[in-house]
Amino acid sequence: MTDQDRKVLLKGFRDGIPIAMCYFAVSFSMGIVARKAGLVPATGFLSSLLTRASAGEFGAYTLFADKASYLAVVIMCVVVNLRYLLMSATITQKLPLETGVFTKILVGCCMTDEVYGITIAYPGYLNPKYTYGAMTVAGIMWAAGTASGIAAGNSLPDNVVSALGVALYGMFISIVVQAARKHWKLTVAVIVACLLSWACSVCPGIRDIDSGTRTMVLTVAVSLTFAWILPASVETDDSKVTGEHD
């Protein structure tokens, strides 16, 4: 590993610390759900470390508690987590052309909503070490929170558990807002996407479609539309080539 790679790795680690702190709080509440499904701290830690998907894990633990089949759990996780396919596909466009397939797969496996937010905002071509650093600290704290929640059981009041769950959404909104403030095209796209998402959630017929599927369709439709109407300019500075930044 070169000195530059080491610096990028450490920066990813530092940028991932705020995400990790919020992850611990959110996954702590999820650990309480996992306990009800019969998981112990060790299995909860391993489950969250390998999965790192809040909606998918909540759904899986709920199905486990209801004695659902493994097939039902797999189908639910695939549908709920389809958005990560879009995130991974987007991130590959930021990687240098010579990036190998294994590296692309590994970066894709590191994606969570918040890690995607800071990764997509990385200036120029993406150095994969940045994503590795952010996901290392965030993933470990996510898993640790789940294990801690299982160990704590039902000791926390329901209103405290609900408050912990809201924290993750607030953090993701802050990531999106920071990027939107720098690019007016992104601001418009975010506003349109939010309005369409709300409309679909109240429109008869459409609102009955699974939220994960609606998110997939809206993401593709809004992205393609704005890429055609308001294409992004191509960066040509040195940071685009080297991926270096302060």
pLDDT band (50, 70, 90) for residue 57: confident
> Quick check: 246 pLDDT over 60?
no
> Quick check: 193 pLDDT over 70?
yes
pLDDT band (50, 70, 90) for residue 245: very low
Domain boundaries, the chain: 3-175, 182-246
> Quick check: 14 pLDDT over 90?
yes
What is the average pLDDT across 35-50? 89
User: Contacts from 224-232 at CB under 8 Å and sequence distance 24+?
Assistant: 226/185, 226/188, 226/189, 226/192, 230/185, 230/188, 230/189, 232/183, 232/185
> Quick check: 62 pLDDT over 50?
yes
**Do 136 and 16 touch, CB atoms closer than 8 A?**
yes
**Residues near 206 by beta carbon (within 8 Å), at least 6 away in sequence:** 200, 214
**Do 45 and 28 touch, CB atoms closer than 8 A?**
no
pTM above 0.85, yes or no: no
205-240 pLDDT, tens per residue?
888 876 666 776 777 788 778 878 877 554 434 444
Range name among 50-59, 95-104, 105-114 with the lowest pLDDT average: 50-59
What is the average pLDDT across 97-109? 90
> Quick check: 33 pLDDT over 60?
yes
Q: What is the structure's pLDDT at 240?
A: 43
> Quick check: 17 pLDDT over 90?
yes
Q: What is the mean pLDDT of the chain?
A: 80
112-129 pLDDT, tens per residue?
888 988 998 888 889 999
pLDDT band (50, 70, 90) for residue 171: low
